């Protein structure tokens, strides 16, 4: 593993709402090997079943999270946009994507390296805890939204 970090990437991540208030040293540490990726509309950011090697920090555009359903092979259950983050499969074993993520329009995202993230969080428990405290509400909100979707409130 190299210590290469792109200052532009560090700057973009530091400016992202999800990372507001984090220790600059921490941001710098997790940006090792991170790259900014550009996707055209229809491009896949993640493929269900494949190894989740990155954690996306969305900077621009819109990404659909798709699940294959019996009556619809590409059912979008959520869209993610600028200011949001995408993916937790990199943190949860077996580290494989649980859905497809597809750009709906030209999209720009920082791809943080999963292995770097895991090591940094594990090696510095205070940062790790801080990160999880920030990450949990995102998960909780998505879980709650999923529950509301499950209620299918418009069906009645």
Partner 1 sequence: MLAETDPGASGAPHPLAPVPYSVRAVATETPDTTTLVLEPVGSRRIGRPTPGQFVMLYAFGVGESPIGVAGGNSDGQLVHTVRNVGKVTNALSHLTPGDTVGVRGPYGHGWPIAEATGRDLVIVAGGLGLPPLRPVIYQLFAHRESYGRVEIIYGARTPKDLVYYDEVQSWRRRNDLRLQVTVDAAGRDWYGDVGVVTTRLPDARFDAGRTTAFVCGPEIMMRLTAQALVGRGVAPDGVWISMERNMKCAVGFCGHCQFGPSFVCRDGPVLRYDRVAPLLRLREV
Q: What is the CA radius of gyration of the chain?
A: 16
> Minimal distance in Å, beta carbon 123 to partner 1?
32
> Minimal distance in Å, beta carbon 95 to partner 1?
25
Would you count residue 83 as binding partner 1 (CB under 8 A)? yes
User: Which residue in the set 8, 23, 72, 122 belongs to the binding site for partner 1 (CB under 8 A)?
Assistant: 72
CA distance 20 to 94: 29
51 DSSP assignment: B
Would you count residue 77 as binding partner 1 (CB under 8 A)? yes
Instruction: State which residue, 82 or 128, has the beta carbon closest to partner 1.
Output: 82
Of 97, 121, 117, 123, which is closest to residue 45 (Cα–Cα)?
97
Would you count residue 74 as binding partner 1 (CB under 8 A)? yes
Would you count residue 145 as binding partner 1 (CB under 8 A)? yes
Structural contact between residues 56 and 111, judged by C-beta atoms closer than 8 angstroms: yes
CA distance 43 to 100: 10
- Judged by the rule CB under 8 A, the positions of this chain that interact with partner 1 are 62, 64-65, 72, 74-79, 81, 83, 104-105, 145, 148-149, 151-156
């Amino acid at each position: 593993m190299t210590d290469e970090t792109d200052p532009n990437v560090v700057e973009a991540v530091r400016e992202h709402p999800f990372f507001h208030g984090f220790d600059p040293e921490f941001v710098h540490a997790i940006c090792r090997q991170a790259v900014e990726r550009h996707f055209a509309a229809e491009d896949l950011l993640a493929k269900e079943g494949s190894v989740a090697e990155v954690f996306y920090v969305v900077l621009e555009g819109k990404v659909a999270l798709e699940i294959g359903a019996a009556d619809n092979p590409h059912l979008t259950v959520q869209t993610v946009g600028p200011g949001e983050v995408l993916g937790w499969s990199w943190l949860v074993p077996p580290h494989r994507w649980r859905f497809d993520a597809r750009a709906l329009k030209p999209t720009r995202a920082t791809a943080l390296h999963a292995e770097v993230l895991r090591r940094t969080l594990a090696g510095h428990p205070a940062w790790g805890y801080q990160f999880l405290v920030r990450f949990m509400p995102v998960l909780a909100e998505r879980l709650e939204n999923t529950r509301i979707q499950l209620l299918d409130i418009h069906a009645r």
